[in-house]
Amino acid sequence: MRQTANGFGARTRLRGAVSTAFRLSTTLVAVAVGALFLWVLVTVGWRGVLALSSSDLAAAGVVHGAASGLADAVIGSVIVVALAFTVAVPVGLVAGVFIAEVGRNSRWLGAVRFMADVLSGVPAVVAGVFVYFALGGSAGGQGLLPGALALAVLMMPMLACTTSRTLERLSPSLREAGWALGAPPWRSLIQVSMRAAAPGILSAGLLAVARVAGQVAPLLLVMPAGTEAAASPGAMMPTLHVEAYRLLMTSDPQAPSLAWTAALLLTAAITVVVWLAGRLGHLDGEEG
């Protein structure tokens, strides 16, 4: 940065202009992206509410090609996500504890961490295909349990990653304080570390639920209620996920608008869960 009498003013002005241009362009990009997402949300909200107001949720689906009313689909979605959560939580939590506490000095630590990372990138559709073939294809690969398993496959590694990250963020002095009081490691882990990390783990768990609950592809493959593929109706509940897609595809002119309602309900539920997670604690987990 030479400060010659001649060059100084022009050069400084140029540098200032570049910086202003930079500021303007990032602001513009941020506003554009915000507008884009607002557009997406308004689209789904507006179309969803329009259909909502004109029909009785419990009955409308039956008339316009859904397996049954959307009210049933809400229940189905809740059940399948809850079931997936119950399957995934023990494994995910415990694997997270291994990464952050038990296996801290293990030579497998790197490998386990890597595995959790890599697994949380498995595409939803692949999880669906895997469960479908693992449980015997058309014979047993479809139904409520396969649906929950496919979602659990996606949820497990996410929970492991977020649990370990929350535990690792605790200050080591907390753990040491537990030890100093004479607590054996397990007691210190459960009564000190886990308790301190509980809000973080809970919020991370909610976030994992929200992310996985938005995955439609696996359910479409292994829980396609209402399609001709549904072989065992007892085990095949309708879900918002599948209904949104199927209603979009039917030829009934009224049906697509109900698909928007299904999508709106799904989005709203997920937004509430994420918001709750944000209220509860740290939203710092990085996720690709």
Among 7, 25, 59, 181, binds another protein (CB under 8 A): 25
| Closest-CA residue to 12 (of 2, 21, 25, 22) | 2
Residue span binding another protein (CB under 8 A) among the ranges 53-61, 73-81, 167-175, 263-271: 263-271
Among 66, 95, 167, 225, binds another protein (CB under 8 A): 95
Task: For 99-108, give one letter per residue: b (16+ CB within 10 A) or e.
Answer: bbbebeeeee
Nearest approach in angstroms of CB 194 to another protein is: 11
Nearest approach in angstroms of CB 212 to another protein is: 10
Nearest approach in angstroms of CB 76 to another protein is: 16
| Per-residue binder mask for another protein (CB under 8 A), 105-144, x = binder | ---x--xx-xxxxxxxxxxxxx-xxx-xxx--xx--xx--
| Closest-CA residue to 98 (of 7, 164, 188, 51) | 164
Q: Which residue has the tokens 């398993």?
A: 149
Among 160, 236, 237, 280, binds another protein (CB under 8 A): 160
What's the Rg (C-alpha) of the chain?
Answer: 25
Nearest approach in angstroms of CB 58 to another protein is: 23
Nearest approach in angstroms of CB 46 to another protein is: 11
For another protein, give the closer residue by CB, 167 or 237. 167
How many residues does this entry show for the chain? Answer: 288
Nearest approach in angstroms of CB 285 to another protein is: 9
DSSP structure string for 99-150: IIIITTT-TTHHHHHHHHHHHTTS-HHHHHHHHHHHTTTTTTS-SHHHHHHH
The number of CA neighbours under 13 Å toward the Cβ of 188 is 17
Joined together, the tokens standing for residue 192 give 């000190």
| Per-residue binder mask for another protein (CB under 8 A), 30-69, x = binder | x-xx--xx-xxx-xx--x----------------------
Using CB under 8 A as the binding criterion, the count of chain residues that bind another protein stands at 111
Among 61, 69, 76, 92, binds another protein (CB under 8 A): 92
For another protein, give the closer residue by CB, 52 or 207. 207
Residue span binding another protein (CB under 8 A) among the ranges 54-62, 69-77, 166-174, 203-211: 203-211
Joined together, the tokens standing for residue 250 give 């039917």
> Alpha-carbon distance 277 to 163, whole Å?
14
By CB under 8 A, residue 251 contacts another protein: yes
Contacts of 198 (CB under 8 A, 6+ apart): none
Residue span binding another protein (CB under 8 A) among the ranges 19-27, 54-62, 78-86, 173-181: 19-27
Count of helices and strands (H, E) across the chain: 12, 0
